[in-house]
Amino acid sequence: MDNFKNSANLSGLTVKNGRLINDRPNMGIAGVTAACIARKELKKANKIEMYAEAVAMGNRRSEMSEGPEFVKLLK
């Protein structure tokens, strides 16, 4: 039983009346919740990147149609 109490994996845990009490600080969110948040952030980043690429493509197309070569072809 002494090895159980002195284990490094049980830091922050105490035994009171034969029960294991968790005195460790709250480490934040659970692994599944963290994975869901990371997935949501990734999807949002992909949407922002896709929108930025679309704007850049539109700007390139408008520059191509307004360029001096295009004006010469119309005359």
Please write the tens of the pLDDT for every residue from 17-61: 989 888 887 777 788 988 999 999 999 999 999 999 999 999 888
Distances from the Cα of 64 to the Cα of 55, 57, 59, 60, 61, angstroms:
14, 11, 9, 6, 5
Please state the rounded mean pLDDT for residues 51-74.
78
CA distance 22 to 16: 10
**How do residues 44-55 score in pLDDT, each as one tens digit?**
999 999 999 999
* Burial of residue 13 (number of CB atoms within 10 Å: 0-12, 13-18, 19+): middle
User: Which tokens hold the place of 12?
Assistant: 């922050």
Give the pLDDT score at 43: 97
Instruction: For residue 23, give the DSSP letter.
Output: -
Claim: this prediction has a pTM higher than 0.85: no
